[in-house]
Amino acid sequence: MNAKKIAVIGGGAAGMLAAGQAAKLGADVTLFERNSLLGKKLGITGKGRCNVTNNCTPEEFIKNITANGKFLYSAINRFSPADTMAFFESLGVPLKTERGNRVFPVSDNAVDIVLALKKFCLQNGVRIVTERVTDWMRNEDGTLAGIISEKQKHIGFDAFILCTGGVSYPITGSTGDGYRLAQSVGHTVKPPIPSLVGLTSDSEICAASMGLALKNVAIQVTDTMKKKVIYKDFGEMLFCHFGISGPMILSASAHLRPMEKDRYSISIDLKPALDMQTLDKRLLADFEKNKNRNFANAFDALLPAKLREPFIKLTRIAPEKKINAVTAEERRRVATLIKGLPVSVTGFRPITEAIVTSGGIAVKEIEPQTMRSKKMPNLYFAGEVMDLDAYTGGFNLQIAFATAYTAAIAASSDS
């Protein structure tokens, strides 16, 4: 019996797992990658450490999907985070679980994950072709027969798995090729927008506090148009030259849709462990201790150095005012700012800086149990090329692995 011939387009996280798994199941697999090296984007994820998955249940996983979570029920139950962890450890990559159930290689080196996936492909006989795919070749009945690269034509395939990613970090090869290839066979592509990306702000506090990282703070994001709180989180964030970033902000960015200047505001609780009453007692004690000093020196023990000057400006209390002259109303204003430091949002940073792309091939045109196209019977999809995205914490790579595994099984077995 002749082995089924499968072309996998895109040699990132999804592409390598799909190719290796299909080959492991007996298919004759060729993996096409436009770069000279596989896994270029994967190698820089997690600041070079690679947050490979999240050590959670499938149910918890779905709760962290921000777009089309229900579509992933079948895939995530077929290849769960636990399966991902077992997979990499079987390839000789020991893993560890850190805060927030984030899973990393013990080595803290993303290259180990890339090499493991490449090893998985090679040990199962996958052929690797470093050519950029530009178009399809068709059979007489309209189904896909082969592909055209920038160098030559490749024909004779029975099935195709498209794993080309989105348009974030284009220097790694994510340039939207998959969108164009999908559209050419009738698929709808939801316009890509950045997700898990820094937010721009014109708040003076951002520029003044540039480089300051805040830990153990809470944020609340409000849609001012709808007058509704749309996101809350606790953790870390960073003030940057352009505005704000860091884990909490990246996750918050996934909820800011549509992005419109000044539509969203972020409130930072600098002391989430203290309620207003407890905070007021703390302020009274600090003020009493420093009652003869200037107000500008009231926060030496309460706020980071970079934050003090812009914070004092927001209080509208003269810096040279003596602390013992601060009124109860002014003290309440100080407490309110500590519990809700306001930062305006003017937009996203460029999509080229986004960790993932929101948007992509409409999932309503894809079978969730198989990742097979409803437009083209021998075409399958995996990973970020689809309209799927999630919070930070390993969830987006898990989407790639689960959908790739699902597509590989279906493409290898479908008649």
Mean pLDDT of 205-234: 96
User: In 71-109, which ranges are continuous DSSP H helix?
Assistant: 73-78, 81-90
Nearest residue to 399 (alpha-carbon basis) of 355, 351, 353: 355
| C-beta separation of 20 from 117 below 8 A | yes
Domains and CATH numbers, the chain: 5-194+355-413 (3.50.50.60), 198-348 (1.10.8.50)
| C-beta separation of 74 from 368 below 8 A | yes
In this prediction, residue 46 has a pLDDT band, given cuts at 50, 70 and 90, of confident
- Predicted pLDDT of residue 253: 93
Entry field: residues in the chain: 415
- Predicted pLDDT of residue 110: 97
Mean pLDDT of the chain: 95
Give the whole-angstrom CA distance, residue 343 versus residue 266: 5
| C-beta separation of 181 from 401 below 8 A | no
Q: What is the side-by-side order of every strand in the sheet holding 102-105?
A: 53-54, 102-105, 95-98
Q: Would the pLDDT of 225 be above 70?
A: yes
